[in-house]
Amino acid sequence: MSKMGQELIESMQELVDYSAGKMELRTSRMNVYPVRKMITPDEIRDTRKNLGMTQAMFAVVIGVSKKTVESWETGRYTPDGAARRLITILQADRGFPERYGIVGGDQPGVSAMETPRS
């Protein structure tokens, strides 16, 4: 029997045992914190500068246009929930973009000079 088949049989047996009250289910807990409601233009600019990025580079990392980053930094617009979450991660962990392959010197990608217009 394959490993997958054996795991399915064991899983079904656990289900039967749980249904009969012979075992408790394994559980885990995790706190998930809400997305910040607001990030100021100064915080966005400081985060970008602390990462050593131009507005164009930061835009590529966040997944928005350079004009969007400009508008955030001037206070004309504010980042949406997903962008606020990512900016918060970048504030807490400067190594995040490189560690997860978002930026890097040896990988093909888009340089700040080649940033597509959107």
Rounded Cα distance, 47 and 76, in Å? 18
Q: Tell me: the pLDDT tens digits for 73-108? A: 999 999 999 999 999 999 999 999 999 888 886 545
pLDDT of residue 102: 87
Tokens of residue 75, six digits = 């206070």
Q: Total structural domains in the chain?
A: 2
CA angle at 23 for the pair 21 and 26, rounded to the nearest 5°? 130
Do 96 and 52 lie in one domain? The reply is yes
pTM given for the model: 0.65
Mean pLDDT for 58-66 is 95
The answer to whether residues 92 and 56 belong to one domain is: yes
pLDDT of residue 106: 59
**36 within some domain:** no
Residue span of the structural domain in which 91 resides: 41-105+110-114
**Do residues 64 and 31 touch, judged by C-beta distance below 8 A?**
no
Decide which of 28 and 9 is more confident. Answer: 9
28 pLDDT band, cuts 50/70/90, is confident
